[in-house]
Amino acid sequence: MSARNWIDELKDSAGDVQRLESIEKKYEQQFLAARKAVDSVQSDGKTTEDIKALQDNQDDLRFKLMLTAFVAENASDKRDEQMKKDLRLQDKTGQFLILGHHNSGKATLLNTIKDNPVAQYTSTVHANSEELTMGNIKFVTFNLDGGHIQGYTVTSFV
């Protein structure tokens, strides 16, 4: 594909993240094939001109791949920003309540959402709450063990 056709392809796909990712995948496959071809030609002892031509093609595909990935990432970021505005997720607050049976993973769920670690947590001894911020949204989380009286009281009103 000529440079002009490639640029036109990117322009035509400017706002379409899925299409840009598809183009990126196509160039990634072509780049990997070009790299294999260069390695093969080098091991076969071909002429310097042959190797240089394949290396130039590989460099061209690497550039196309990197720029296509950049355009796709930029389009994705713009889409995400627009979604935030459309959903009005700027500076919101909320509450969510984690209820469940004893040892059902409530603290693990909360800590995974909050910190993103995969770890083992001890059982919740007392009901607790804490503030959790995800992006620009603040939540007050309540973790009640289903085996405690507070858990039974809350579930009767929820």
pLDDT in tens, 13-39: 878 888 888 888 998 899 899 989 888
**CA 149, 153, 158: angle at the middle one, nearest 5?**
140
Is there a single domain that holds both residue 76 and residue 103? no
pLDDT in tens, 75-131: 888 888 887 777 776 667 777 777 777 777 777 777 777 776 666 666 666 677 778
E strands within the chain? 92-100, 128-134, 137-145
* Of the residues 65, 87, 109, the one at which a domain ends: 87
Return the pLDDT at 139.
77
Is there a single domain that holds both residue 66 and residue 106? no
Is there a single domain that holds both residue 107 and residue 139? yes
Return the pLDDT at 116.
64
47 is in an annotated binding site: no
Is there a single domain that holds both residue 111 and residue 150? yes
Is there a single domain that holds both residue 64 and residue 99? no
CB atoms within 10 A of CB 132: 16
Is there a single domain that holds both residue 83 and residue 99? no
Give the total number of structural domains in the chain. 2
Return the pLDDT at 103.
73
Say what the alpha-carbon torsion angle 5, 8, 13, 15 is, to the nearest 10 degrees: 160
Q: Copy the structure tokens of residue 62.
A: 């690497």
pTM: 0.50
Say which residue, 137 or 146, is predicted with more confidence.
137
Query: For the ranges 11-20, 36-45, 129-138, 144-153, which has the lowest average pLDDT?
Result: 144-153
The string of DSSP letters for 63-75 reads HHHHHHHHHHHHH
For residue 145, with 0-12 CB atoms within 10 Å meaning exposed, 13-18 middle and 19 or more buried, which class applies? buried
Is there a single domain that holds both residue 137 and residue 103? yes
Domain, as residue range, for 135: 94-157
Is there a single domain that holds both residue 69 and residue 111? no
- Report strand pairing: 137-145 vs 92-100: parallel
106 is in an annotated binding site: yes
* Of the residues 42, 65, 87, the one at which a domain ends: 87
Q: What is the CATH number of the domain that holds 115?
A: 3.30.720
Say what the alpha-carbon torsion angle 7, 11, 15, 19 is, to the nearest 10 degrees: -50
Residues 6+ apart with CB under 8 A from 119: 111
Is there a single domain that holds both residue 15 and residue 70? yes
* Of the residues 68, 87, 106, the one at which a domain ends: 87
